[in-house]
Amino acid sequence: MNTDLYVLGDADQIRDGIDKRLLQGKLEELTAFSSALTKAIASLLQSFEEEMGATVIMAGGDDVLLRVSYERYSLDTNLSLAEEFHRSTGCTISFGVAEKLSDAYINLRKAKAEKSCVCFGGVHI
């Protein structure tokens, strides 16, 4: 099989973390949170590139879109990278994975709704 997969990721509850710090006037905490998020996204992308040969299509804020060959995609690695993101930021990140971009988006929405981290082929993990 010589198919590419789309991996669409979105960090969870980032707005809550920003709002909480902003409304409480904790600007130093907000700066640290923002910095940790930026570094964690950069690290996540680099790891996807190095470990799965992913191509970054889009990265903005807490959202990422990558393309990975089916043969190189690893669910275990994806889960490990999500765990590292959580350790770095205190926030979880959800992923939708599919051959079609529209299905990756639907799988992302399912993963977020089910709080399952990764939804790939209808399987929530």
What sections of 1-125 are H helices per DSSP?
A: 14-23, 27-52, 75-89, 101-114
Q: What is the mean pLDDT of residues 65-78?
A: 96
pLDDT band at 32 (very low <50, low <70, confident <90, very high): very high
- End-to-end, the C-alpha distance of the chain in Å comes to 23
Half-sphere CA count of 71, side-chain side, radius 13 A: 3
The 10s digit of each residue's pLDDT in 50-69 is 999 999 999 999 999 999 99
Instruction: Please state, in angstroms and as integers, the Cα–Cα distance from residue 95 to each residue in 1, 21, 46, 110, following that order.
Output: 22, 26, 16, 9
Domain ranges of the chain: 4-92
- How high is the pLDDT of residue 102? 96
- How high is the pLDDT of residue 120? 80
pLDDT at position 107 over 70: yes
Distance CA 25, CA 84 (A): 28
The CATH architecture annotation of domain 4-92 reads 2-Layer Sandwich (3.30)
- How high is the pLDDT of residue 2? 61
Alpha-carbon torsion (98, 101, 107, 111), positive or negative: positive
Measured at the CA of 68, the angle between CA 63 and CA 72, to 5 degrees, comes to 135
